[in-house]
């Protein structure tokens, strides 16, 4: 008997074969959702015909809900099983339903931006409810909620009537605020970031802005803001957990432009318990050395406005010039809104420079201005959006020979992704000018030079410039350069990049497009890490200059090139 049982089990296993699944569906979005949610496509294990029919029937009921979710409320889903192991789901979706009307009871003055006649899906209805409640809360109705939602579908006209019954509740004001969890951070430091005040009309945007600003300080590892209702008041509690405020870092690096180097940094984000930041950084490369000390005071005479004091030492040696500089700056940085910020300051700089023109000392007074705008979705690894960065630096030499010039640089970047962000097309254009003094009067370090990890990769550093003797760069008064990249993401942490750079640096303060352009191509690797993508690029100049440019250049850093 035991042998008969084993033989029967073996025979039934052979009879249970793996199966094939197909979908007959006219809507690509619905078809994709069906395939992703179906047990018949996820499992595909060996089943008996009876078990296969049960699994197909379970999926059929789920598929009807998915069709309704996409606005096909009259959809009919059937299936056939061919040869006992081939399932074909037939999706007779019918027409997609349109919105006939939308009525709001209890909040007639609130618009939903749902247009009668538009195709309507379940997701759009859910979003409409969320937007309705959010707008009521922004008007001060903190307890607003939807009591009932009514949907009436007309199968003859294929339309949907929607009715929302709303309970706005009373008009609310902010109540008292309690702060808990602080240790070394003084409560008045948190108060600087709170955008509401007791007695002000309730607005959830104030709570969002406060939470975002507190998280950006780096003072806290956790920020939780909870609200309660007390009559017509909304008391709030800000519960924080402090992070480590002091940090120290060190490392080694290599750059084609500067050679090998070491880096060290130290930072205190909570000086005197007031959230003031003191930062020190030193870098010593073979051809470049810099030391920087900065002090930042947040919310200086206004919300979203910071004061920065900066002292810096720089020493640089390259083929175009050698320079040594000391400078001190005071800067005011203003966050205009969530997408833009501006900076204005005053900088005093003592500069010594040496090139083929000789040795020169400069005592410069600068007034740097910078405006940034960005709707890119990520700072270090954007996949969509655009970024605009404009810099203006009026400069005068205050001792001995007096002269004046203004440095202008504008950089515009754009990003567009395809195939579910697996391919990102990125482009950047930089235009720069120096107006005022003659080129040979402007300090060599303030002139323009191409050939770096960001501008005209592949060419020798600081050499894309007008040349003195066909080999010695003298720097230019204008620049026009572009970069174009195809960034390819795989399923893991590794990605690839193909890029093309083009541009030049010119004698005049307006780009001379009749002059030949420099071209370079290259490829790179991107390794995704928690601090951003690690970048490794190899760039090759298409039209290298004899005795100046190498066959290729290597670049390694953190973050995308732009």
Reading the chain (562 residues) residue by residue, the pLDDT tens digits are 444 434 343 344 434 446 788 888 888 888 888 888 877 777 666 667 777 788 888 888 788 888 888 888 888 888 888 887 788 888 888 888 899 988 899 887 666 778 888 888 888 888 889 999 999 999 999 999 999 998 898 888 989 899 999 999 999 999 999 999 999 999 999 998 999 999 999 999 999 999 998 998 999 999 999 999 888 899 999 999 999 999 999 988 777 778 889 999 999 999 989 999 999 999 999 999 999 999 999 989 877 899 999 999 999 999 999 999 999 999 999 999 889 999 999 999 999 999 998 999 999 999 999 999 999 998 888 999 999 999 999 999 998 789 999 999 999 999 999 998 899 999 999 999 999 999 889 999 999 999 988 889 999 999 999 998 888 999 999 999 999 999 998 878 889 999 999 999 999 999 998 888 999 999 999 998 877 788 899 999 999 998 899 999 888 888 888 8
Domain co-membership, 394 together with 540: yes
Of 223, 242, 261, the residue at which a domain comes to its end is 242
Domain co-membership, 411 together with 447: yes
Domain co-membership, 483 together with 515: yes
Give me the domain span that covers residue 37. Answer: 15-92
Of 118, 134, 167, the residue at which a domain comes to its end is 167
Separation in Å, CA 163 to CA 117, 122, 128, 166: 16, 14, 11, 10
Instruction: Please tell me the predicted confidence (pLDDT) of residue 124.
Output: 87
Task: Establish if 254 belongs to a structural domain.
Answer: no
Q: What's the rounded Cα separation, in Å, for the pair 94 and 99?
A: 16
Residue 136, domain CATH: 3.10.20.310
- Helix H, strand E, coil C: the string for 386-448 is EEEEEEEEEEEECCCCCCEEEEEEEEEEEEEEECCCCEEEEEEEEEEEEEECCCCCCCHHHCE
Task: Establish if 303 belongs to a structural domain.
Answer: no
Q: What's the rounded Cα separation, in Å, for the pair 434 and 154?
A: 68
Domain co-membership, 111 together with 187: no
Report the predicted TM-score, pTM, of the whole model to 2 decimal places. 0.77
Task: Establish if 269 belongs to a structural domain.
Answer: no
Helix (H) or strand (E) holding 10: helix 2-15
Of 65, 92, 119, the residue at which a domain comes to its end is 92
Count structural domains, the chain.
Answer: 4
| 60 and 40 Cβ atoms separated by less than 8 Å | no
Domain co-membership, 201 together with 58: no
Q: Dihedral (C-alpha) 364, 367, 373, 379: value to the nearest 10 degrees?
A: 40
Instruction: Please tell me the predicted confidence (pLDDT) of residue 6.
Output: 40
Instruction: Please tell me the predicted confidence (pLDDT) of residue 170.
Output: 93
The residue behind tokens 């235009």 is 431
Task: Establish if 304 belongs to a structural domain.
Answer: no
State the first-to-last Cα distance of the chain, in angstroms, to the nearest integer. Answer: 75
Strands laid side by side in the 159-167 sheet:
98-105, 159-167, 145-154
Domain co-membership, 117 together with 63: no
Which residues are paired to 392 by β-bridges? 369, 408
Domain co-membership, 527 together with 428: yes
Q: What's the rounded Cα separation, in Å, for the pair 407 and 38?
A: 61
Domain co-membership, 25 together with 127: no
Domain co-membership, 180 together with 63: no
Query: Helices (DSSP H) in 234-357: which residue ranges?
Result: none
Domain co-membership, 548 together with 484: yes
470-496 burial string, b = 16+ CB within 10 Å, else e?
Answer: eebbbbbbbbbbbbebebebeeeeebe
The residue behind tokens 């809507």 is 27
Conformation bin of residue 451: beta by default, left when phi > 0, alpha when psi is -120 to 50: left
Rg (CA), the chain: 32
Q: Is 12 exposed, middle or buried (0-12, 13-18, 19+ CB in 10 A)?
A: exposed
Task: Establish if 365 belongs to a structural domain.
Answer: no
Domain co-membership, 45 together with 144: no
Domain co-membership, 548 together with 469: yes
């Amino acid at each position: 008997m035991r042998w008969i049982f084993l033989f029967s089990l073996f025979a039934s296993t052979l009879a249970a074969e793996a199966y094939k699944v197909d979908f007959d569906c006219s809507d690509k979005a619905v078809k994709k959702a069906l395939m992703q949610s179906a047990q018949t496509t996820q499992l595909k294990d060996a089943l008996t015909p009876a078990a296969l029919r049960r699994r197909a029937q379970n999926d059929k009921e789920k598929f009807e809900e998915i069709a309704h979710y996409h606005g096909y409320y009259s959809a009919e889903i059937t299936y056939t099983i061919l040869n006992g192991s081939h399932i074909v789901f037939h999706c007779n979706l019918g027409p997609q339903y349109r919105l006939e009307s939308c009525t709001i009871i209890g909040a007639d003055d609130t618009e939903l931006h749902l247009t009668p006649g538009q195709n309507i899906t379940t997701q759009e209805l859910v979003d409409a409810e969320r937007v309705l409640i959010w707008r009521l809360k922004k008007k001060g109705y903190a307890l607003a909620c939807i009591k009932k939602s009514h949907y009436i579908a007309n199968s003859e006209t294929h339309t949907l009537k929607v009715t929302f019954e709303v309970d706005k509740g009373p008009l609310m004001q902010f109540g008292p605020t309690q702060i808990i969890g602080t240790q070394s951070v003084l409560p008045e430091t948190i108060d600087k970031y709170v955008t509401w005040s007791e007695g002000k009309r309730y607005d959830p945007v104030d709570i969002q802005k406060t939470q975002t600003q507190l998280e950006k300080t780096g003072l806290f590892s956790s920020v939780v803001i909870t609200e309660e209702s007390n009559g017509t008041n909304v008391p709030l509690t800000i519960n924080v957990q402090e992070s480590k405020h002091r940090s120290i870092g060190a490392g080694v690096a290599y750059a084609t432009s500067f050679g090998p180097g070491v880096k060290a940094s130290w930072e205190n984000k909570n000086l005197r318990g007031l959230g003031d930041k003191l930062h020190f950084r030193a870098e010593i490369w073979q051809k470049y050395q810099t030391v920087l000390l900065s002090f930042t005071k947040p919310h200086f005479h206004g919300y979203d406005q910071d004061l920065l004091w900066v002292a810096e030492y720089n020493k640089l040696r390259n083929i175009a010039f050698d320079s040594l500089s000391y400078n001190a700056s005071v800067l005011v940085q203003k966050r205009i809104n969530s997408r833009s910020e501006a900076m204005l300051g005053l900088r005093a700089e003592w500069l010594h420079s040496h090139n083929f023109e000789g040795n020169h000392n400069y005592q410069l007074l600068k007034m740097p201005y910078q405006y940034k705008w960005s709707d890119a979705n990520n700072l270090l690894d954007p996949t969509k959006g655009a970024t605009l960065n404009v810099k203006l630096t009026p400069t005068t030499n205050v001792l001995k020979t007096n002269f004046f010039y203004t440095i202008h640089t504008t950089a515009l970047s754009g990003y567009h992704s395809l195939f579910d962000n697996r391919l990102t097309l990125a482009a950047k254009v930089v235009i720069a000018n120096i107006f005022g003094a003659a080129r040979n009067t402007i300090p060599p370090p303030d002139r323009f030079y191409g050939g770096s990890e960001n501008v005209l990769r592949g060419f020798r550093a600081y050499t894309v410039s007008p040349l003195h003797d066909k080999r010695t760069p003298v720097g230019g008064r204008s620049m026009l350069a572009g970069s174009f990249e195809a960034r390819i993401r795989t399923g893991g942490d590794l990605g690839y990049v193909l890029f093309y750079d083009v541009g030049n640096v010119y004698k005049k303060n307006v780009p001379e497009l009749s002059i030949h352009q420099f071209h370079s191509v290259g490829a790179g690797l991107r390794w995704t890490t928690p601090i951003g993508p690690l970048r490794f690029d190899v760039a090759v100049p298409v039209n290298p200059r004899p005795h100046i440019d190498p066959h290729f250049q290597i670049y390694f850093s953190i973050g995308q090139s732009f």
